[in-house]
Every structure is written in C-alpha cells, then in structure tokens.
Structure 1
Amino acid sequence: MYTEEFRSQLAARDSSKLLQLWHEYCQGDIVDGQEIIDILQLIKQSDFITVFGQYVEAALPLALLIEDPKIKLEALRLIIDIQTTNSEALYHTTMETLKNLFSSDPAFLEKIRLVSMRSRENFQGAISNFLLLNHIKKNNFVLHTAGWGVGEIIDFSILREQISIEFENVQGHKKEISFKNAFKTLIPIPNTHFLARRFGCPDLLEKDTKENPVEVVRSLLSDLGPKTAAEIKDILVDLVIPEEEYSKWWQQARGKIKKDALIDSPENPKLPFSLRKGQVSLEERIEKAFSGKKSLSDVLQAANSLIRDFPEVLKVEASKETLSSKIKGFLATPNIPQADLLQALLFLDQLLGVTDQQEMLKTIISELTNIDKVLEQIEILSLKKRLLIAIRTLRSDWASIFWHLLFVIEPNQLRDYILKELVDLESTETVISKLRQLLEHPKNYPEALFWYFQKVLNGDEKYFQDLDSKGLFFEALLILFSHLDYKPESRDLLKKIYALLTGSRFEVVRALFKAAPVDFVSEFLLLSSKCQGFSTHDQKILKSLAEVAHPQLAKEGKNQHSQDTHTLWTTAESYAKTHERIKKIGTVDMVENAKEIETARAHGDLRENAEYKSALERRSRLQSELRMLSDQFRHARIITKEDIKTDCVGVGTTVGILTPKGDVNEYTILGLWDANPEASILSVQSKFVQAMLGKQAGESFSFKDEEYKVAHIKSFLEE
C-alpha cells in the first residue's frame, strides 16, 4: 500500500508531503521487508535521494526487525547507500552487519579499509562496496551503470586496487578500472543473471529462449524488472534471437506467457509484463477476466478468451458454472438484441454444454431472417461457424442461404466451410455457374474475388484450372484493383492484391505470361495501365516481362503509351490542380449549393421561384463536372521522364513540324488537362496530333489535304 503512495508522491514532486509520508511510515509497527526495499529503491532512483540522505536513518529500527537475513541485508544496504549523516548508529550497524557475515574472510580487514569503514568519516555505500569486493573474482560478471553494459572480470589485484574487465559495449580490449571508480559504476550480478547469460553464453541462452521461452522471460523480468513488449524485443533481438526470426518467436511465446501463472500479462500492449508474487489460481483468473465487464458482448469475449487460453476451465464444474451463470444473467434482459441472445445461447449450448436452452436456440435458428446481418453482429468467430453448422442441420433452405452468404461473409475460414458444403451438395455445373458471378461482377464482391482467386492460383479447387479460366480471373482482379484505387476503405485489400501480383519479383505474373497467348498478355498490359496502384516502375517491369515472354510485343508496343486512349496523361501540376477542383466541388461548392437550394425553397411557390431553378441548374452543372472530372481522374497518370520516348511523336514530346509554307512550328504534346493551343501545347486527343502520332523525325503525314513533315523530336522536360 505504502509503495504506491510513495510512487505517487515522488511523481508529484512535493518534498514536504513526501517527508511527512516517510516519517509516518517509519513510525509504523508493521514490518514488511519487501515493502521497505521497494520504497528505498524508489527513493534511490529518484531526484530526492540527496534530500533523503539525512532522513533515511529513521527506517533503521524497522530494517533491524526484518527476520529474513537476505531481505534484512538488502534493506540495510540501501539505507547505507542513501544516508549522508554517517552517524554512530549507522556506523555500528554497518560494522556489526559486515562482521557477522564476513569476519572469517582472510582479507576482511583490508576490505574494511577499502570501503572507508576505518576512518568513519564517510562510509556511504559501505555495504554495497564490500559486497562488490567479495564478488571480484575471475569469470564473475558485473554491470556498468554508465553505459558499458555487462562485463566479465578477467583479472584483479587487491594490492593495486584494480580490476581488468571485458565489457559487451566496449569492443576490442579490456578495461582497467580502479576500485574507487568501481564503487561508483559497477554492480555485481550473479552468473545466472539474464544479462550475464546473454553476454557470457549467448548460444546457450538462444537455445533456452527457443525451447523454454516462458522460463527465459521470467528470468528477464525477475532480473530487469517489468518490461513492455517493445522493451523485451530491444533486449532480445539480435543479441539472443535473430531479427528475422523474432516476430514468429514472439507470436508463439506470447501465447505461452499469457497462460503462465507467474507472469502478469497486460491487456494493453503498451503496458509492461511483470512477475506476480505468487501463482494465480483459476478462480483468480476468472475473477480478473470478468472484472469491469458489464455488457453481454464483453462477458462473452472474456469467457471465450478464458476457454481458449485455459482449457482446464471446462474440466472444473465450479468454473463452468461461474461462466454459465454470468451469461445466463443476461438472458432475462428486456429487449435483448436477437444477435446477442443467439450468441449467448450458442455459447451455453456449444461451448459450455448447457442444454436447458436448446429448444429456444433451435426455434430462433429455424425462424432466423437477415442471417448475414446477424453474423456480422456476432463477434466470436467460433460462434459464427457453429451458427452456420446449426443452419446446415436445422433448415431445409440452407443451400440458398449459403449461396447468398458465400460472397458476403467474412472471414475466409467461413467461406471455405460454406463452399465445401455446397460443393458436396450441388452439381459441378451449378457451382461453376454461381462462381462465375465473381468474374461477371468483380466490383460487387471484392473480398470474395480475392479469396477465390488465390484458390484458383494455388490449385486448391478443381474448378477453373484451365489457362483460359485463370486468365479470366486475372482480368477480373485487375478490374477490381483499378476500382479500389479510389476506395480508401479498401486500402488493406488493395495492398494484399498488390503484394500478391508483385511478390517474389512478379512471380505469378511471369508464370502467366509464359503460358498465356500474346493477345491475352496485350490485354493484361492494357488493363494494368489503368491501375494507379502500379507505379511507373511496376508498369515498366510488366512491359519488360511481357516482351521477354513474347518478343513481338517489343515491336508492336513502340510508343504504345502515347496512343493509349484509355490513359489521360498529365503533368504533376495539372494532376494536383484537378484533384483540388474535385475536392472543392465535393466539399465546398456542393455544400454551398445545398444551402442555396434550401434558402430558395423558403421563398415559397417553387414553380415561379427563379432562385430555386437557378440553384437546381447549378447543382446539375456541378454534378456533371464532378462526374466528368472523377472519371478522368481515374484514368489519369502523371507523365515522367521514363514515359517519354523521343524516337517518334508521342505524349510528352516537343515536335518541330515543317508546314506546307516552309515554316517550322514547335508544338508540345500533352494530355487534355494541360492543353493550351495559344501556348502551342496540344492535346494528344486533337485530330492534328492524332495524324502525327508514331511518326519519326523526317517522316511526313497528311492533315486536311495538306502535307506536313516532322522536323525534330525532343522531350518537353528538356526545355
């Protein structure tokens, strides 16, 4: 109790209240040795250590009453470390303590001299320093408090009052440290200490960490104190566990640590793991799990976590009864939502084996409508699966329900179960016909398409395994990929699709290009050019892969981008300007127009209301402009230096054109947004530019029955 009060007062930095609390504590008659140590350590680590130097002696009577000799020695050591009075009482206590423990040491008197116990003038830290001298032996370990880390004692000399140590953070040579400096910066640690093991025998510690992660984490917390997951990683990664293996190791270790009776695992990942003073019982775990849980959803989540992490809960009738009573307490709640009631009944029946509510459960499932919405509201995955199994068993219309759920339900484990049941029931023709909906409407079922695409790609299904079918799924995925560019809520799925297509250096695409005919590969490149998710570099790689698989594409694709009518090429400035215009229409202009319409409505008769008609016309214009710009924006791509080919006329080139009159006029060819005829910037879609596209320097072309000649070609970015 007092430990937390001291921690709070130290944080508040109120010295008067802190000293008042200290005197109150020292006058108490209850002796808790560990509490005394914890409080003294807090004081020693705080900024108030100097202030407490003259008051810490007040704890001496309490420390002398401690029965456990190890705890008593630690309490006295901390008092002598903090004290600054060097009083007679402290001196005699220190001397008696050292004599009682170490008088048989042949070097006792010399060590007494070294720790300043002969002079009596300043023996602050005498017990700590004496313990350090006792610890100075070859192959023992110490911790350097000023940043050198753990060190192994290589040699020492009492005569020279000097130690030779190799430190983990000082590479290449050993350090010679005087006893005087050692007293200020070194802390003795046993050879079994976590840091000593990490420095002295890292290979053995790595082996233990992989085989017995819980024991190693216990040791870490015992020796170093409470640590967060991030701090544990900093301590272990590379020094014990290689970084590339750490995530997998921690994922497995975390589950075991959570179940350990001696480690207190925080629910908040930012809070530290710590050691408990004793093992936690199953009853205590249950009590902690339900602490503060007031809603049925929270209670079910807590009960599910208990059963998952501690299966022994189901083997103890008293524990099962506690869980079931907690859940049953909500069943009588007035107007309980159907999804909550269903979750509770499923949990009782399926997980706890409570059968007295079975008839109610069957009735609800048999009459259940809006099943997809109910499944969304059920938070526990295992209960979703059990509801589907119950529907399969109890309802004659289960197949139609499953077909509806297949494309809308999440996660994929549930889709796998539904598909398996349907495949076992339906004919091959029916299954293929239903699954073709994914190809016909890829934008309607994004998650489902990506799920089944992976099955087709991996050969997990017997359907759609021919090359043509796989090609259709690739095309559908690219259409979806392009569509998701403008769906911020689908960013995670967009990343998954991108990772699949580009992973292992475009492995799946390379395999497809190698097997597919050239016409399909050309169509693939066209579809991919519309996907903003692919960078310019990605597009170049796709084109190169296609040309490697089908060399004829290298010739056919000459300056292909400049003739691509689907892509709206633009400069970065125009791209940003259009984006801002779209944003302004949607967030400013449309809002203002809505206010105009509302104001005009208030003026009365709408048939003769000119302001109302004008506002409606403005809304129509804004909506049309927004649709047009949004559609263009979906196809827009910023042109870069890598996109511009100067061997023939195309987007991004500045061309000199020899006119029939013998003049040479220069034109820059860009996209629709950048066109400015007065500045001789022409749109690639203009008829004049279309007539010269693909022409090389020196070649002629006709426009409106007149002959023109390309005099020279260069990149507009060179200007």
Structure 2
Amino acid sequence: MHPDVEKLVEAGKIPAPVGERLSQLAPGNFCLHKSFGAGKVIDWDFATKKIVVDFEKSSGQEMDLQFAMQKTEWLPQDDFRAVKIEQIEELRKLAKTDSVALVIHILESHGGSITGEAIEALVSGAVIPTKEYKKWWDATKKAVKESRKAVVPTKRTEAIVLRDTDITPAQALLADFEASKDIKGMIKALEAIAADIGAFDEDSEALKQLLTDIDDGAKKAARVQLGHAMQLIAARDEVIGSNKALELDPSAVRLSDLIAGSDLSRIAEELVALPSTRQRAVYEAFETAFGPEWIEKIVTVFDQVGARGVTEIARILSENGGMPVLMEHLSSALARRALGPDALIWVCRERKGSAEEIFGADVGASILNLLENDHLSDGPRKTSRLQTLLNDDKALLSDLVNGMDLNEAKNFARRMLDCPVFGDLEKKSLMARIIKVRPETVELVSGQNAAKREEPLLVSWESLEKKKQELEELIRVKIPQNLQDVKIARSYGDLRENFEYKSAKDMEKFLAHRRAALEREIALARGTDFKGADTQTVNIGTVVVLADEDGKEQTITVLGAWDSTPERKEVSYLSDVGKALMGLSVGDDAKVRNVESEQMQTLTIKSISAYHA
C-alpha cells in the first residue's frame, strides 16, 4: 500500500480495500481505461480528489479519483500494454528477433487468450509499421503454430490460446483434439496430427485411444453430417497410414461403410464442400463399397459433386479403365441436355483429350441451354464459371463450330446472338471467333438480326417487379456485403493461397456482371398483363392445346420472357418451346422437345385461347 494512502487507512478515513485499490493508482503505476487505452499515472491530489494520467489516446487526462477507481483497471508493470508505454523500442526489437516471445507476452498479459484481430490492434502501427504488419503476422502466426506454445485458429476473429508449457508436443496435439467441441474441430485437430505425425514416434499409444474417439464421433455424425463424418474418417486413415504402429480395429467404421449405407445423391451433395484430397479418398472407397458395380455407381454422381469432384472422378476412372462408361454416360446426358455446368466445363477442357469423342454440336447446345435456363430462373446463378470459360478460352468456340456442319454452325451462332445472357460487346467478341473459322456466319451479325437483338422484352408486371427487387437487393445489400467480405478476406494474408479472398473476388465479378445484366434487362423490359392477345395464332399470352400422334393432349401457356414455370407448363416466348410455337395456327404442326425424354416430337395445335391470370 502506498505510504500516503496507508496514513488515511490508519486514520480511519477510508477502508483498507479502498486503500489497496487507491494505491494501484499511485503516480508511476499503470492502468487501463476502456476508451483511452493504457496509461501511466503522472500525479494525484488528495485535497482536490484529482488524478492525472497519460493515456495512449489522451495525454494529461485529468480525472476524479473515485471515477478513476471505478473506470480503470490496474496493469502490472510487466503487462504488454504497460511495457508498450515506456519501452516501445524494446518491443520493436523483440518483434524482429523473437516474434513468438512477443505473442506469448501478449497472451500472458491477456489471461492466456486473445484474438488475432485484437493483437493487430495492439501491435500494428505502434510496434510494427502498418504496411509491414500483414507480412509480419503471417510469418509470426506460422512460427507460433510450429512452436506449439499456443493454439492458433484459422480465423482472426477466433481466440489464440496459450498452452500449458509442461506438456509434450504430442500431448499438445491430442489436447487440441480432446478439446474439440464439434466434429469440425475434431477434423481440424486430426489434420494437425496427420501433418505432424512425427511427434508421436515415441508415443504411439496415445493415438490408439484417439482412434476409438474418432470412430464414435464419425458414427454419431454420419446421421446428420455425413460429409464431415467422411472427412473425419479420411483424416483418420491418413494418420494410420503415416504411423506403422497403428492398426485399425476390424469393427471400426470405414469410408466404404458410410458410402454403402447412404443414398448416392446425399453423398454427392455432401462431397461438394470437401477438399480435393478428402474427396479422392471417398471416391477410391467406391470399389470396396460396391464391388464390380462401382464404376456405374460413381458415374451417376459425376455431375453432382462440383468442379473438384468432377476432376477427381475422371482421374480415378482413367486410372481404372472406366472412361468408356463415363463417355457413354456423358454422351447420353448431352443428348438429353441434362449435363450440368461443372461436367460441361470438364468436357470443354478435355476436348482434345479424354472427352474428344463426345465434343460436338450437343456440347454447344447444352452450354447455351444451361446459360439461358439459369438466366431465366430466380435462384442463385450456377453458370458463371461456364460463361467465364466461354469468354476466356479463346479457342473453345472455334473448336466447337469447326466440328459442326454449316446448318449446325449457323443455328448455334444464331442462338448465341439471341441469348440474353451475353452483353453486346460479349456477343461481338464471341461472334468474331466463330466467323474466323466459319465465314458463312457473318451474315447473322448484319441487317435485321442486329435490330432484333435490341427489341423490347415483354414480361409480366410481377416478374418485372421481381427483377427490380433483385437489382435493389444487389445494390443495397449484396454488393456492400461483398466489399466487406473482400476486405476481411484480404486481412487473412497470403492472397496466393487465400481461398476466402479468391471466392470473394469471384463473387465481386459475378455481382458486377449480374448488376449490368439486370440493368440492361430492366431497361429493355415492357410490362404487360397479357390481356387482348391475338388468338388467331400462338402469341404471348395464349394457352395452346396440342396433341401427339396418339391423340394425347397437353396444354402449354406462352408467357413473357421471365415467366417460365415448368411445373405449370408455362413457358417463355424466348424458350425453345416458345419459339417453336410462336406464330403457328390451329392445325399446324410444331416440333418440340419432350420434357421427360428430351427427345424431339411432333405435336399438332388443336386450339388457341387467351390466357387469364
């Protein structure tokens, strides 16, 4: 207790606990204020009950003594924040010579736990120049991980936690696993063990109990988190493969068990989010799970597992003689226009390799079909990567139309010019590539075709309002949020391997493109309630009854550009079916594609009536 304060306590003027707290604010001591930061007490005056503190953010701050006792927190002299006030140069030297020691000092000063975000607030600018901080922190974070003196999470908003210094490296890794609160944490901890398996060379017994815990965790998670369960088992198998002393119990759950016991569509859905290495481990287990039928089984999920999965499955099939089965599956899907964007991208990239035999007119039609359908749907866009490939791969269109006959090339070029997905500059650029190898198509970019592309889009008032709402949400919510996401992801450092940053930048491009497309579409749109449609021929706003060769009838309603509802047999006048019907009269035949079989069929128009909303 400070001598001056001790006199007041002995005189009975203040209680001893108050004296202890008051002594912490004696001149020369350090304190922390929520708003002003850390500070050093310069002077106090019992007569006026005032205290003067040099805070980081407010030098010479005069405060009421009682207020200071309530609003400040005492800091020991060796606390990082106190040291930063008077010994900043020593901290700067330590940051250069032993950055791990600096972080440990910060952790010890904060009760053993602090976020990366909070460390940046303490260090950047004061100890490390702001411009150098990210590079310094990336190296420091890696060094802290390697020292195993603290648990370092991936995200800067999660707490870095100081470890117990008396445990071995192997025990520290196991402690991280045991401290995991959910299966995601178990996966991260197990991956860290796999990456540092050498730490267990003399302590493999510790891993044996770990295998039991993994088995229990995977079995529980498989019911509701199948993807994470498969990832955990794949990481476990990697650990076992790296340690000769470990053997898997015959009763332990295996990847093949999880695959065989689950619906393939669910497996495909869960696999999309897994890293490539984990996906490959799952695909390699298909043979054990399904025996001789494994190739047929794995082909069925080829188009459902995302870009990484498509690549991994193709590689495995190539290594195991399964490519003929895959080509047959892809050829059938292309003919039915049922191939998704990731599989189409793979076919395009492998057009001079594995997919050469199926690369042709059906690929081009499937690409445009997907782009148009995705454009007309109200959900999130799924074909942005496919459109990017079409623009960036300068030889793709040339290779595509080079293998078509003249009519196929003209039809493809005409359809591309009419496709609402592409902007005017895009169309000119893409058509230039086509014309270079097929000069006969040059006539399509002149005369009436050019004017036709700028015709208004007739749409329902409801769909127009939805587009306007989408644009407003894009401008007010999604684009600002994406800018924030880019800023946060950039702070994670090392942009070359920063998945979050790459994803955020890809989304930035998509949002910009989507905004431009929406603004152009809305400018061209003309709202209508479809009243007064001419029913002499099939027009926008008419209900058409058609019959096939067996007399079986079906009803199709032709509506605006954005009004397709397949389940109600409502089609856009810009769709393939809509274009085939427009202008026809009762008794005329129309060739349309069957929705279920995807085969072309001839239908006769039996009646045309006005649509009523």
Distance 1:490 1:279, change over 3 A: farther
Q: What's the CA shift for 1:416? A: 3.7
**1:373 lines up with 2:266 in the alignment:** yes
**1:498 lines up with 2:387 in the alignment:** yes
Distance 1:578 1:424, change over 3 A: same
Q: How far apart, in 1, do the equivalents of 2:213 and 2:28 lie?
A: 38
Tell me, yes or no, if the aligned pair for 2:375 and 2:421 is still in contact at 8 Å: yes
Residues 31-110 of structure 1 aligned to structure 2 (within 5 Å): 40=30, 42-43=32-33, 46=36, 53-54=43-44
Tell me, yes or no, if the aligned pair for 1:402 and 1:418 is still in contact at 8 Å: yes
TM-score under structure 2 length normalisation = 0.51
Q: How far apart, in 1, do the equivalents of 2:557 and 2:93 lie?
A: 75
Q: How far apart, in 1, do the equivalents of 2:34 and 2:421 lie?
A: 57
Distance 1:277 1:20, change over 3 A: farther
Name the counterpart of 2:152.
265
Aligned-partner residue type, residue 332 of structure 2: Q
Distance 1:38 1:268, change over 3 A: farther
Q: 1:301 aligns with which of 168, 184, 187?
A: 187
Where 2:285 maps in the other structure, the secondary structure is: helix
Q: How far apart, in 1, do the equivalents of 2:84 and 2:218 lie?
A: 63
Higher relative contact order (CA 8 A, sep 6+): 2
Aligned-partner residue type, residue 579 of structure 1: S
* Bigger mean CA deviation after superposition, 43-52 or 543-552: 43-52
Tell me, yes or no, if the aligned pair for 2:173 and 2:189 is still in contact at 8 Å: no
**1:473 lines up with 2:363 in the alignment:** yes
Name the counterpart of 1:310.
196
In angstroms, what is the RMSD of aligned CA positions?
A: 6.2
Q: How far apart, in 2, do the equivalents of 1:386 and 1:333 lie?
A: 20
Aligned-partner residue type, residue 469 of structure 1: F
Residues 689-700 of structure 1 aligned to structure 2 (within 5 Å): none
Q: What's the CA shift for 1:449? A: 2.2
Tell me, yes or no, if the aligned pair for 2:558 and 2:573 is still in contact at 8 Å: no
Distance 1:577 1:405, change over 3 A: closer
**1:388 lines up with 2:283 in the alignment:** yes
Distance 1:239 1:569, change over 3 A: same
Tell me, yes or no, if the aligned pair for 2:149 and 2:165 is still in contact at 8 Å: yes
**1:403 lines up with 2:313 in the alignment:** no
Tell me, yes or no, if the aligned pair for 1:226 and 1:275 is still in contact at 8 Å: no
Q: 1:356 aligns with which of 240, 249, 271?
A: 249
TM-score under structure 1 length normalisation = 0.45
Q: What's the CA shift for 1:436? A: 0.8
Tell me, yes or no, if the aligned pair for 1:264 and 1:276 is still in contact at 8 Å: yes
Tell me, yes or no, if the aligned pair for 1:568 and 1:636 is still in contact at 8 Å: no
Q: 1:327 aligns with which of 214, 227, 233?
A: 214
Q: How far apart, in 1, do the equivalents of 2:29 and 2:461 lie?
A: 63
Distance 1:365 1:581, change over 3 A: closer
Q: 1:464 aligns with which of 348, 356, 359?
A: 356
Name the counterpart of 2:525.
none
Q: How far apart, in 2, do the equivalents of 1:269 and 1:191 lie?
A: 22
Q: How far apart, in 2, do the equivalents of 1:231 and 1:546 lie?
A: 53
Q: How far apart, in 2, do the equivalents of 1:541 and 1:376 lie?
A: 36
Where 1:543 maps in the other structure, the secondary structure is: helix
Aligned-partner residue type, residue 46 of structure 1: F
Distance 1:473 1:320, change over 3 A: same
Tell me, yes or no, if the aligned pair for 1:221 and 1:227 is still in contact at 8 Å: no
Q: How far apart, in 2, do the equivalents of 1:260 and 1:27 lie?
A: 39
Aligned-partner residue type, residue 398 of structure 1: W
Q: What's the CA shift for 1:417? A: 4.2
Using the aligned pairs only, state the percent identity. 12
Q: How far apart, in 2, do the equivalents of 1:428 and 1:337 lie?
A: 33
Name the counterpart of 1:439.
334
Q: How far apart, in 2, do the equivalents of 1:237 and 1:438 lie?
A: 57
Render the CA deviation track for 1:370-389: whole Å, top value 9, x for unaligned: 24424545775555533432
Q: How far apart, in 2, do the equivalents of 1:76 and 1:449 lie?
A: 66
Q: What's the CA shift for 1:259? A: 4.6
Q: What's the CA shift for 1:189? A: 7.1
Tell me, yes or no, if the aligned pair for 2:459 and 2:559 is still in contact at 8 Å: no
Q: 1:579 aligns with which of 443, 463, 484?
A: 463
Gaps of 5+ in 1: 1-18, 29-35, 57-74, 86-126, 133-186, 198-213, 585-617, 638-671, 673-683, 688-719
Tell me, yes or no, if the aligned pair for 1:484 and 1:494 is still in contact at 8 Å: yes
Name the counterpart of 1:531.
419
Tell me, yes or no, if the aligned pair for 1:582 and 1:626 is still in contact at 8 Å: no
Count of aligned pairs: 430
Q: How far apart, in 2, do the equivalents of 1:579 and 1:238 lie?
A: 49
Where 1:532 maps in the other structure, the secondary structure is: coil
Q: How far apart, in 1, do the equivalents of 2:398 and 2:60 lie?
A: 71
Where 1:42 maps in the other structure, the secondary structure is: strand
Distance 1:579 1:446, change over 3 A: same
Aligned-partner residue type, residue 248 of structure 2: T
Residues 198-277 of structure 1 aligned to structure 2 (within 5 Å): 227-228=116-117, 239=131, 258-262=145-149, 265-271=152-158
Q: How far apart, in 1, do the equivalents of 2:193 and 2:299 lie?
A: 32
Distance 1:449 1:261, change over 3 A: same
Distance 1:425 1:334, change over 3 A: closer
Q: What's the CA shift for 1:306? A: 2.5
Q: What's the CA shift for 1:328? A: 4.3
Aligned-partner residue type, residue 462 of structure 1: S
Aligned-partner residue type, residue 416 of structure 2: S
Distance 1:453 1:234, change over 3 A: farther
Q: What's the CA shift for 1:499? A: 1.9
Distance 1:363 1:237, change over 3 A: same
Q: What's the CA shift for 1:552? A: 5.3
Residues 418-437 of structure 1 aligned to structure 2 (within 5 Å): 418-423=313-318, 430-437=325-332
Tell me, yes or no, if the aligned pair for 1:54 and 1:83 is still in contact at 8 Å: no
Render the CA deviation track for 1:438-476: whole Å, top value 9, x for unaligned: 4223444333222332232xx4x33416xx935543332
Q: How far apart, in 1, do the equivalents of 2:207 and 2:84 lie?
A: 52
* Bigger mean CA deviation after superposition, 384-393 or 330-339: 330-339
Q: What's the CA shift for 1:266? A: 3.7
**1:453 lines up with 2:443 in the alignment:** no
Render the CA deviation track for 1:504-543: whole Å, top value 9, x for unaligned: 7x56446767897765553343232343332222123323
Distance 1:581 1:453, change over 3 A: same
Q: How far apart, in 1, do the equivalents of 2:360 and 2:346 lie?
A: 14
Q: How far apart, in 2, do the equivalents of 1:55 and 1:322 lie?
A: 64
Residues 76-155 of structure 1 aligned to structure 2 (within 5 Å): none
Tell me, yes or no, if the aligned pair for 1:227 and 1:272 is still in contact at 8 Å: yes
Distance 1:487 1:389, change over 3 A: same
Q: What's the CA shift for 1:237? A: 11
Render the CA deviation track for 1:54-99: whole Å, top value 9, x for unaligned: 289xxxxxxxxxxxxxxxxxx9999xx87989xxxxxxxxxxxxxx
